[in-house]
Amino acid sequence: MIVFIYGTTAEAIKLAPVMRRLDARGVPYQQWVTFQHTDALRTAMPQLGLRAPDRILADGWRGKPLKKPIHMVGWMTAVGWWTLKNLGALRRAPRPSVVLVHGDTMTTVLGTFIARLAGVPVAHVEAGLRSGDWRHPFPEELDRRIVGRLAEVHYAPTPETAQNLAGRRNVIVTQGNTVKDAVRDSAEKRRAGSGTTSDDEPYGLVLLHRFEFISNLTLVRETLQTLNDHTPVTLQVVVDSYSRDAIEAVIGELGLSRLTTAPKLEHAAFVERLQNARLIVTDSGGVQEESAVFGIPTLIHRMATERNEGLGTSALLSRWDQEVVREFLVEAESHRGTNDDAAASPSDIIVDDLIRRGYGTPA
């Protein structure tokens, strides 16, 4: 039996292409969900074609988003309590079984520990990413290093990420991240439906939500002021329950007329919005990968990134330097790249490997 343990919207987006391909081959699997993201994940799952969870390990902080450290502690305690209550049943699970975790969240780490306690091997999707600095991004860099030591199978997106796992067994290069399939599947679905649309007025997208950014109010003020003063197009700042208060407060305080906030969209609508944007400013690794598929000029507003997608072509790393931000905005069009039309499907590679290892039997 194949079990997916995940809890954030980003994890769902990147694991959904794998699950859809398992469905297409008639391979059974289960979803064990921690709801590290609550409302956003509940909304995203049916939009991504995912069925209801087979098991719910926790439900955020009493059903609400994790906005404070104490909420995170309470959520982790709930996951731990669920594990203790169900450990006996987990150890009696049918063999061969495998638990798939994704990326570098707290759910990734907790899912890995749950599998290890149950004596079940762990397969890590998006394995081997390293920034080289445990402080950036924090705690994600520590999360993936922990899982990298405990997982039995490592699905590494690129030869470079595979090299970071040198000396470990069962490292499989997937020729990209599964987010490629998420974007391509979404684009294909739109082409088969109503097609794409574009706004008459050009716009850019801003997606800044990481704790290390949002918690630095001086950096938030400086960045939004620079964006407002030098952007060649109006900017839509996409906010979620974690970033909304800080972003909207600064926009109002500084009177930033070139920036407007917009709520998160379901993934297919977001991909269309991203594809039509003139430029992207983001601290999201997933968005970096998605924008690279289309070659959209992208500023990665972080001190360090563990991903190579787009770097040197359509993407530029700011290292939080406001002069780099300004120069990117002025010269954004020079960073435009070409669409990534590579034939390889990372999700197909993963599914083929799972079946080869005996973890799933096609119908």
| Mean pLDDT on 211-217 | 91
With the C-alpha atoms ordered 98, 99, 100, 102, is the resulting torsion angle positive or negative?
Answer: negative
Assign a CATH topology to domain 195-335.
Answer: Rossmann fold (3.40.50)
pLDDT band at 305 (very low <50, low <70, confident <90, very high): confident
Residue ranges covered by each domain of the chain: 2-176+344-356, 195-335
- The token pair that represents 103 in the structure block: 């990326």
Residue carrying structure tokens 């994940």: 41
What local confidence, expressed as pLDDT, does residue 241 receive? Answer: 77
Same fold? 2-176+344-356, 195-335: yes
Report how far residue 342's alpha carbon sits from residue 152's, in angstroms, rounded to the nearest whole number: 28
Residue 30, beta-bridge partner list: 3
Report how far residue 205's alpha carbon sits from residue 187's, in angstroms, rounded to the nearest whole number: 18
What local confidence, expressed as pLDDT, does residue 264 receive? Answer: 84
Residue carrying structure tokens 């394995």: 127
Are the C-beta atoms of 75 and 57 separated by less than 8 Å? no
273: left (phi over 0), alpha (psi -120 to 50) or beta: alpha
What local confidence, expressed as pLDDT, does residue 343 receive? Answer: 64
> Does the pLDDT value for residue 194 go beyond 60?
no
Distinct helix (H) and strand (E) counts, the chain:
14, 13
What local confidence, expressed as pLDDT, does residue 338 receive? Answer: 77
- Residue 109 CA, chain-centre distance (Å), reads 15
| Mean pLDDT on 59-87 | 92
> Does the pLDDT value for residue 84 go beyond 90?
yes
> Among the listed ranges 46-55, 100-109, 187-196, 277-286, which one has the minimum average pLDDT value?
187-196
What local confidence, expressed as pLDDT, does residue 224 receive? Answer: 98
Q: Torsions phi, psi of 173, nearest 5? A: -80, 125
What local confidence, expressed as pLDDT, does residue 191 receive? Answer: 67
User: Cα–Cα–Cα angle for 286, 304, 318, nearest 5°?
Assistant: 90
Residues of the chain above pLDDT 90, percent: 70
Are the C-beta atoms of 114 and 18 separated by less than 8 Å? no
- The token pair that represents 134 in the structure block: 């445990």
What local confidence, expressed as pLDDT, does residue 133 receive? Answer: 84
| Mean pLDDT on 15-36 | 96
List, in order, residues 6 or more apart from 135 with CB less than 8 Å away.
141
- Collapse the DSSP code of 261 into the 3-class scheme (helix H, G, I; strand E, B; otherwise coil) and give the result: strand
pLDDT digits (tens, 9 = 90+) for 321-361: 999 999 999 999 999 987 665 568 999 999 999 999 999 88
> Does the pLDDT value for residue 199 go beyond 70?
no
pLDDT band at 317 (very low <50, low <70, confident <90, very high): very high
Assign a CATH topology to domain 2-176+344-356.
Answer: Rossmann fold (3.40.50)
Report how far residue 363's alpha carbon sits from residue 344's, in angstroms, rounded to the nearest whole number: 24
pLDDT digits (tens, 9 = 90+) for 156-185: 999 999 999 999 999 999 998 998 899 888
What local confidence, expressed as pLDDT, does residue 138 receive? Answer: 83
Look at 351 and 187; give whichever has higher pLDDT.
351
> Does the pLDDT value for residue 74 go beyond 70?
yes
- pTM to 2 decimal places: 0.77
From 312, 287, 317, select the one nearest 302 (Cα to Cα): 317
> Does the pLDDT value for residue 195 go beyond 60?
no
Looking at every residue in the chain, the average pLDDT score rounds to 91
From 268, 306, 294, 289, select the one nearest 346 (Cα to Cα): 289
What local confidence, expressed as pLDDT, does residue 27 receive? Answer: 96
| Mean pLDDT on 189-208 | 75
pLDDT digits (tens, 9 = 90+) for 94-142: 777 899 999 999 999 999 999 999 999 999 999 999 988 888 788 899 9
- Collapse the DSSP code of 244 into the 3-class scheme (helix H, G, I; strand E, B; otherwise coil) and give the result: helix
> Does the pLDDT value for residue 236 go beyond 90?
yes
Report how far residue 231's alpha carbon sits from residue 223's, in angstroms, rounded to the nearest whole number: 12
